[in-house]
Structure 1
Amino acid sequence: MTATNPIDALLAEKGVLLADGATGTNLFAMGLPAGEAPELLNETAPETIASLHQNFVDAGADIILTNSFGGTRHRLKLHHAQDRVHELNKRAAEIARSVADKAGREVIVAGSVGPTGELLVPLGALTYDDAVNAFAEQIEGLKAGGAEVAWIETMSAPDEIRAAAEAAIRVGLPYTYTGSFDTAGRTMMGLLPKDIHAVADGLSQAPLGVGANCGVGASDILASLLDMTEAKPGATVIVKGNCGIPEFRGSEIHYSGTPELMSDYVRLAVDAGAKIVGGCCGTSFAHLAAMRKALDAHTKSTRPTVETIVERIGPMRNKTASSGDAGEGRRERRRSRV
């Protein structure tokens, strides 16, 4: 079946879309204990999740992501909830849907699909077919709850992105995907930003958008964005960067980005060709409201250089992917999007 395309419809109306901010950071601020699965809150504290989404809608988000990032059986088994995949994901989508439906304007509900945390064969034990099945199980729940798009995010391995995309196609949801370019300008598994577009080549349905999220700081993700938009200028490219740089203060992670910095990040992202801009770790409701204001007031301007980006929002933490061979990337598992 051909899935409908809510993203292109809203892009045609608005030009650039604002996605929401951090899930984990804001849930911790709202009382989520460290080490607990955010997905369990869909059943134990649905009002908290609804409040999270409502605050992002009130701040001006065009796209809200369901509270289902760790919603595969592989992640949920860490919390003895691997037999509750369908119900937890369905509930996640239902909560987001209930908020979007009363927004008084078009708000897209995107079903967040994060990595399994497992390494695929030959590096690990998870087969490609098992990965497709695990993602399909999750996406079935998200679709049943009213998600309009499978939002595959924070990925490192091209084959895992492809497995999730294949699952979305099987279930009948359109999909997007983003990599996390956090290792010398590449993903941990060595994927370059310029190569993100080709990951789904040959599948029966193309993605609605591709891009980057999480990673290191705002400057680094904008450098990745330049590579992605240069590689395929007409593509719908997503950028959902962290709120400045993460810094430890005692035992707590603090993000350095101010609303002013994130506003300038939005302007630079639009100038660099992004069609969907949002925030990842550390991005609060106040940050997102400032980003909405900046987006609404901005007229697309000259494409920035890396030098312009560094001058305006601070130094890079990593070297860029285009600055030479960065090795194969560390073969690690990604833990959590906050």
Structure 2
Amino acid sequence: MSKLEDLLARNGALLADGATGTNLFDMGLVSGDAPELWNTDEPDKIRALHQSFVDAGSDIILTNTFGCNRHRLKLHNAQGRVKELNIAAVKLAREAVDTADREVLVGGSIGPTGELFQPLGALSYEEGVAAFRDQIEALVEGGADILWVETMSAVEEMKAAAEAAKGFDLPLVITASFDTAGKTMMGLAPKGLGDLQTQFACTPVAIGSNCGVGASDLLAAIMDITEAYPEAIVVAKANCGIPQIRGDEVVYTGTPDLMARYAHMALDAGARIIGGCCGTSPVHLAAMRQALDSHQAGSRPELADIISEIGPLVSPPNREADAARAESANGSARRRGRRRG
């Protein structure tokens, strides 16, 4: 049993951390700069962010390595620093968790390459696997407890990350962002992520959703996953309410009270690892910690309950379009069947 599974077995549910990027902007990060470079340029600020999450009650904190692969780093002429920056990031996270008075795990954050895979783009599957493997080797060497693949959209990229994780003795977590009419940008539905579990070269210990367009939309995605796969360990890591553009700033509308209610509903929806993504501060996390500690199991929520408690869906599923596509596919199958006959 991995450290993640053991801690889940003992605690029942775990609190993950909050936002990296939006909190670093409050610390002085400038839009367009790479947060990962702060692992060596501003280590005290990264360490302080991790410490604030630990102090707020997080059981899992993620390293500042979301874009720390060769393809993302080449945008900042740092593609040769994959190993250095990932190892530095894990060590900063470990400094925060190793002084805690309880067990806190370090998840090595692995985001998308930023490239389109063939045939839509130029990146081959093999090149994707190699890029993820470089990053994973460094995260493992640095001392990560979990390989945490997040904000994924394309099936091929998830499979490449899972293949790169194969052979390392660490639990794998994969979360996707269902931000386009209830699906990922590349068309994967929440249930489809569950269906993929047996197709990954390295079977994830947990699956789920992060980021997206709002807490309500994320909860709806979680409901679809847990309905189809009730035995799965599911992660819910929602943005802090709904993002709104005000001038040249993106402001997240979620209050600590709203995020506490979101945490309660995520638990009742079947999620076992709850956290926050963009806009989620240590103050929000402290309210979520209290929600997890005081939670009394309720009935599984309905979508109407989520909308009433958390807010409207920002990008609701297009059920009519899905039904039309399904009917078209069925019609094509029937026609193919007649031709074969």
User: SS in structure 1 opposite 2:322?
Assistant: coil
Unaligned runs of 5+ in 1: 329-338
Query: Structure 1's 327 and 293: CA in aligned 2 closer, same or farther, altered over 3 A?
Result: farther
1:201 CA displacement: 1.7
- Equivalent residue in structure 2 for 1:142, among 139, 146, 149: 139
Between the aligned partners of 1:261 and 1:287, the Cα distance in structure 2 is: 9
Is 1:74 the counterpart of 2:71? The answer is: yes
Give the match for residue 328 of structure 2.
none
User: SS in structure 2 opposite 1:286?
Assistant: helix
Unaligned runs of 5+ in 2: 326-341
Query: Structure 1's 303 and 145: CA in aligned 2 closer, same or farther, altered over 3 A?
Result: same
- Equivalent residue in structure 2 for 1:274, among 271, 275, 288: 271
- Equivalent residue in structure 1 for 2:58, among 61, 65, 75: 61
2:172 maps to amino acid: Y
1:35 CA displacement: 1.0
- Map 1:1-338 → 2, pairs under 5 A: 5-320=2-317, 324-325=321-322
1:86 maps to amino acid: K
Between the aligned partners of 2:318 and 2:132, the Cα distance in structure 1 is: 29
1:313 CA displacement: 1.1
Q: CA RMSD in A?
A: 1.4
> Which of the pair is proportionally richer in helix?
2
Quick one: percent identity of the two aligned structures? 57
User: SS in structure 1 opposite 2:122?
Assistant: coil
Point out the structure with max Rg over C-alpha. Answer: 2
Q: Contact conserved, 2:165 with 2:202, CA < 8 A, in 1?
A: no
1:323 CA displacement: 6.4
Task: Report the TM-score when normalising by structure 2.
Answer: 0.93
Q: Contact conserved, 1:224 with 1:320, CA < 8 A, in 2?
A: no
User: SS in structure 2 opposite 1:201?
Assistant: helix
Residues 27-81 of structure 1: CA distance to partner in whole angstroms, max 9, x if unpaired? 0001111111000000011111000000000000000000000011000000000
Between the aligned partners of 2:215 and 2:311, the Cα distance in structure 1 is: 8
| Deviation larger for 194-203 or 239-248 | 194-203
Between the aligned partners of 1:54 and 1:296, the Cα distance in structure 2 is: 20
Q: How many residues align?
A: 325
1:325 CA displacement: 1.4
1:173 maps to amino acid: L
Residues 184-231 of structure 1: CA distance to partner in whole angstroms, max 9, x if unpaired? 000000000011123242445311100000001011000001000001
1:192 maps to amino acid: A
Query: Structure 1's 116 and 219: CA in aligned 2 closer, same or farther, altered over 3 A?
Result: same
1:91 CA displacement: 0.6
Task: Report the TM-score when normalising by structure 1.
Answer: 0.93
The structure showing larger relative contact order (alpha-carbon pairs under 8 Å, at least 6 residues apart) is 1
Q: Contact conserved, 1:110 with 1:147, CA < 8 A, in 2?
A: yes
